[in-house]
Amino acid sequence: VSATGRAAADVLIDGETIRAVLEPGSHLLGTDVAASVDRVVDATGKYVIPGGIDAHTHMQLPFGGTEASDTFETGTRAAAHGGTTSIIDFAVQTYGQRIEDGLAAWHEKAAGNCAIDYAFHQIVGDVNEASLATLRKLPDEGITSFKMFMAYPGVFYSDDAQILKAMQVSRDTGMLTMMHAENGPAIDVLAQQLVDAGNTDPYYHGIARAWEMEEEATHRAIMLAKLTGAPLYVVHVSAKQAVEQLAWARDKGQNVFGETCPQYLYLSLEDQLGASGPEWGSFEGAKWVCSTPLRSRAEGHQHSMWQALRTNDLQMVSTDHCPFCMKDQKELGLGDFRKIPNGIGSIEHRMDLMYQGVVTGEITLERWVELTSTTPARMFGLYGRKGVIQPGADADIVVYDPNGHTSIGLGKTHHMNMDYSAWEGYEIDGKVDTVLSRGKVIVDGDEYLGAKGDGRFLKRGLSQYLI
Ligand code: URP
Ligand code: ZN
Ligand code: ZN
C-alpha cells in the first residue's frame, strides 16, 4: 500500500535498501526471485507499508522541573513496536543557551541509543543575533526546520518581534517554521484567575487554554508568515477554528500546513472532566494534560480534525509524544493544574490508532499511509530514502495485519516508560506484524529483535513543499 494506491507485490530487499518491487512470482534474469533469496517474510493477506515516521516527539524533554520519561532508548523501542521506523525529535535551545550547545546536548542524548533512525528539528528558545546566525547554518547539518512557541511565557516563549526575525531566516533559507500556536500571555492570566478562584483540577487546564487562544495565535502566525514569506507548519492543531484559519490561508495560496495528533481525534475535554479513579480521584485528569489541550466533543473539534485530514486542510498526524509518569511527575500539579508537566505518550500507538480511522471509514487505507509516513517524509526532507517503498529507498517496512487485534494499555502492548496509559482500554482491529528498519527485522510478531544503537542520525534536506 502506498499513498497513491495498492497492489499485490513482492518487495525485494538487498542489505539495507529496497532493490525492487515486483509482481508476485516474478523471475529476474531467468531465476525465480522468491526461490533465490536468503529469507522470505510472508505477508500474504496483510498490508505492506512504508515504516511510520513520527515527526513530533520529545524524548527526555525538560519541562516543569522534570523531564519527559522516555529516553531515546525506551522511546524508539516503543516506536518500533508500534510500526514507526523514524522519528524527528526536537533539540532544545533554552533561554540563555547557545543553539550549538543545545543541539550538541541533544546529539549526545540520542547517539548510540536509538533503535530506529532519528532526525532533529531545532527549538529556538532564545532569539538573538547569535542564535539567528546559527539558525541560518543548520540546514548544513541536516536540520531544516525549527519550532517556536507563542505559549509558555518565561520558558520557551517568543514574542512577535522575535518570531518575525526568525521567520525571515525561514524565508531566506527554506527552513520550515513550526509554530506552537497558542496565546501564552493571555492563557497565563486566565489560568491564574482560575487557580485564584479555587479551580485547580486538571480539567481547568483545558478551560484556561481556550480555543479562541489557539485560533488567534494561528491567525497571527499565518499573518507573520505571509508578511515575511516564510513557509509555516502549525504543530498539534486541536481547535476546529484553528483549522479554519489554516484552510483560509491555504485557499488564498499561502504555503501553510498543519498536523494534528491522535489525542485530538479521539479524546475530549468531557472525558477529562469525568475522569476519576481510586488512586488519583479527580486528579486522574492529569493523565491527559497536554498543550494544545483536549477539546470539547460537544463543540465538534474531533469531528473537524478527521474531516480536515480527509480534505487535506491538515496534512499529517504526529504524536507530540511527551510522556510523564503520574508518580513524581504529573503529581507535581496536585492542587495547581499549572504545575502538571504537559504531554501525552502515544508513540507506540499512532499507527494503530490511525488505522482505526480506516476501519471506521474516516480515512482510506492510502490516506493512512500518506498521513503517517509519506507526507511526513516529504514535508521534512526525508522522502525517497523514507516514506516510500521503491528501489533505492531504505528498507523501512511494516507488515500490518488487518485481521489481527491489539489491546492497548499498561502491561498489554505498552513499552513506553510510563506508569499509566493515556489509551488504557483501547481495542484496535489490526496489528503490527513485522517491522524492518533498514532491512533488519526488529519486530517479528511479539518478538523484539531491535537494539539500541541501530538507529542512525538522519540529515534531512529541505521540505518538498516549498514554493
Ligand atoms: O503538551 C505538550 N504538547 N508537551 C510537549 C511540548 C509541546 O508544546 O509540544
Ligand atoms: Zn508545542
Ligand atoms: Zn511537542
Q: How many A from CA of 351 to the centre of ligand 1?
A: 20
Residues at CB less than 6 angstroms from ligand 1: 58, 180, 236, 290-291, 320, 322, 342-343
| All cell numbers assigned to 39 | 529469507
Ligand 1 mutation pick, 121, 149, 236, max ligand atoms within 8 A of CB: 236
- DSSP per residue, 142-180: T--EEEEESS-TTTTB--HHHHHHHHHHHHHH-PEEEEE
Residue 170 exposed, middle or buried by CB count within 10 Å (0-12, 13-18, 19+): buried
**Atom 3 of ligand 1, residue of closest alpha carbon:** 291
The conformational region for residue 405 under phi > 0 = left, psi -120 to 50 = alpha, else beta, is beta
Give exposure, 178-206, as e/b (b: 16+ Cβ within 10 Å).
bbbbbbbebbbebbeebbeeeebbbbbbb
- Whether the bond between 57 and the residue before it is cis, its omega within 30 degrees of 0, is no
Which pLDDT score, from 0 to 100, does residue 182 have? 98
Q: Whose CA is nearest to atom 4 of ligand 1?
A: 343
Q: How far apart are CA 446 and CA 467, in angstroms?
A: 44
Complex ipTM tops 0.85: yes
Q: Which ligand is nearest to the CA of 320?
A: 3
Collapse the DSSP code of 43 into the 3-class scheme (helix H, G, I; strand E, B; otherwise coil) and give the result.
coil
CB neighbours of residue 122 within 10 Å: 26
Do the Cβ atoms of 88 and 56 come closer than 8 Å? Answer: yes
Q: State residue 127's pLDDT score.
A: 97
CA of 28 to the centre of ligand 2 (A): 50
Residue 467: HSE in the Cβ half-sphere, 13 Å Cα cutoff: 10
Residue ranges in the chain whose pLDDT is less than 70: none
pLDDT of residue 28: 75
Structure-derived torsion over alpha carbons of residues 75, 275, 285, 422, reported in degrees to the nearest 10: 10
**What's the pLDDT score for residue 157?**
97
Distance 178 CA to ligand 3 centre (A): 10
Long-range contacts of 186-194 (CB under 8 A, 24+ apart): 186/213, 187/151, 187/213, 188/153, 191/337, 191/338, 194/337
Q: Please name the residue whose Cα sits nearest to atom 2 of ligand 1.
A: 343
Tracing cell 486542510 back to the chain, one arrives at 313
Q: DSSP string spanning 355-379?
A: HHHHHTTSS-HHHHHIIIIIHHHHH
Sole residue written with cell 494503530: 352
CA of 385 to the centre of ligand 1 (A): 28
The model's pTM: 0.98
What's the CA-to-centroid distance between 85 and ligand 2, angstroms? 22
Atom of ligand 1 nearest to the CA of 151: 8
Nearest C-alpha neighbor of 265 from the set 155, 350, 190: 350
Asked if residue 17 lies in contact with residue 393, where contact means CB atoms within 8 angstroms, the answer is: yes
